[in-house]
Amino acid sequence: MINRSQYLIMLLVLVKLSFSQTGSVYNSLHNLSASGPGSIKAQTESEVCIFCHASHAGNSQAALWNRSDNAINYTIYGSSTMETNAQQPGSASRLCLSCHDGTIALGLVLNRSDQISFPVGFDKIPTDHRSNLSSDLSDDHPLNLDSHPTGFNCSGCHSSSPMTSDKMECISCHDPHDDTQGSFLKVDPISGALCLRCHQETNWLQSSHNTSLATWGGNGPDPWPYTTWNSVTENACASCHTSHGGAGSTWLLKSSAEEDNCLVCHNGNVAALDIQSELNKTSTHAVANYSGIHTPSETVPLTAHVECTDCHNPHQTSATTAVAPTAPGSLAGVSGVDQAGLAVYPSQYAYEVCLKCHETDISTIPTYIPWYNNTTILNEFSESNPSFHPVFGPGINQNVPSLISPYSETSVIYCTDCHNNDSSGPVGPHGSMNAPILKKRQVFSDYNRESTTIYALCYDCHSRSSILNDESFTKHRKHIKNEKTACTTCHDPHGSMENSHLINFNTDYVFPNQANRLEWVDYGNNSGACYLLCHGEDHNPEDY
């Protein structure tokens, strides 16, 4: 147990050291004497250490404290993903907060009968200064944590201070006597080094947000207003988070609108590709329409919403490529739903990320085609169906003469082979001028003159000349050219639970025939029979 005399000796040693080295108290903003270098300083007081310490007549607390007890009940940080409980600040942090919560005058010290004089408006840390944390600490890093979930011992951060603790406190990150690293930090925070002492995120070291050398060229808002660094790899954690004064208090995000933490870089001003412009198109994943719904711990079924982090884990995302259906690096570390409809983490396949939201019908998504056999996307892609587009695995039909290289009957495709941006911008279903987020135009209505333009999406994989030459179905040209029937009037692009060849009928144009029958029968060898009413013609049946 260290007694008061030993504290005094230690204090004198610290004072001597701090006056003799770069980054010392004397040369820092903690020198509140008249000789201090900052804008907040006393008018005439010459003593430097007096604002915190007293040789005699100080507080009974450790470190010969020269300020009154701080008994404020603070509003503290909390989030749904915390693995240990934050508490009211401990004694070590309350010493710091006796100045930094802005409630006690800086010159109100115990060993002076009169308050030390400061200029008007600077007797306390002004409220517009980031160093004034106020009594609301909900937007600041949590304090007084019992321990870190990974087993990190917080007392290891305090080795340079005579006040040690096994709790997470202000002095875990800050050394009030040494400003060598700036902001009185104990570790040079470049590339997230200080954060990484406790926060050991999976795959962070390989992630783009840790390794990217992209810089800000000066266009648009400064993505890193609180640092002097100018690259992604230097800012690292600080690209999205701030330890104090987070606008989005949950997870200490710099911006309260979740997507703004991403788009401040992914608007073409830092990241090479402009995702923000894609999100401004007519058909998008409308991340700006939702706030405060997403959480990394959410479970299926989800409350309808979409945020950037529903598809991208910023701690794990990378530029690693993959072959369908394997998830690429951009989707690394994201939860999903597998073919069985079960929640998985992390997603192994790209479609699992899509199914997390699209495995059931979502009321906020418009119905573009009223299918006769209506079911969920999960069911439509099932490999047990008579036909399906090969998203889960290779298709069943091994005779598709219309396929354009490099596609073949054994190909597996991504959802993004169809649902993607409509330009040469960033890959992914961020936004398109073609609903529902299609990379090329596809008209779903009948009675339009056939062209490469209105069926551009289908013709991107299926040869127009092969289709119109009836190489896969003897009546394609008659239906598409002569009858002006859309591809989607007969074919469901996801899959059919009832029929081969993706046959499912758009009930805006196809109705039961006079015998009240609506059905297609496959005879094999590109032949079959239709029982239906379409374009005013009763098929009972129409054989092909």
HEC readout, 8-54: HHHHHHHHHHHHCCCCECCCCCCCCCCCCCCCCCCCCCCCCHHHCEC
Residue 277 pLDDT: 95
Interval 406-464: pLDDT, tens: 999 999 999 999 999 998 889 999 999 999 999 999 999 999 999 999 999 999 999 99
Confidence of residue 167 (pLDDT cuts 50, 70, 90): confident
Q: Which residue has the higher pLDDT, 356 or 81?
A: 356
Residue 535 pLDDT: 95
Q: Which residue has the higher pLDDT, 214 or 363?
A: 214
Confidence of residue 158 (pLDDT cuts 50, 70, 90): very low
Mean pLDDT of the chain: 89
Residue 5 pLDDT: 52
pLDDT for 191 beyond 80: yes
Q: Is 58 exposed, middle or buried (0-12, 13-18, 19+ CB in 10 A)?
A: buried
pLDDT for 195 beyond 60: yes
Residue 302 pLDDT: 78
224 contacts: CB under 8 Å, gap ≥ 6: 216, 230, 235, 238, 239
201 contacts: CB under 8 Å, gap ≥ 6: 315, 316
Q: What percent of the chain has pLDDT over 70?
A: 91
Residue 161 pLDDT: 39
Residue 55 pLDDT: 82
Confidence of residue 162 (pLDDT cuts 50, 70, 90): very low
Q: Is 9 exposed, middle or buried (0-12, 13-18, 19+ CB in 10 A)?
A: exposed
Question: What's the rounded mean pLDDT across residues 492-518?
Answer: 96
Confidence of residue 145 (pLDDT cuts 50, 70, 90): confident
Question: What's the rounded mean pLDDT across residues 506-514?
Answer: 97
Question: What's the rounded mean pLDDT across residues 78-94?
Answer: 83
Residue 69 pLDDT: 78
Question: What's the rounded mean pLDDT across residues 479-493?
Answer: 97
Distance between CA atoms of 320 and 251, rounded to whole angstroms?
A: 27
Question: What's the rounded mean pLDDT across residues 340-366?
Answer: 89
pLDDT for 29 beyond 70: yes
pLDDT for 223 beyond 50: yes
pLDDT for 276 beyond 60: yes
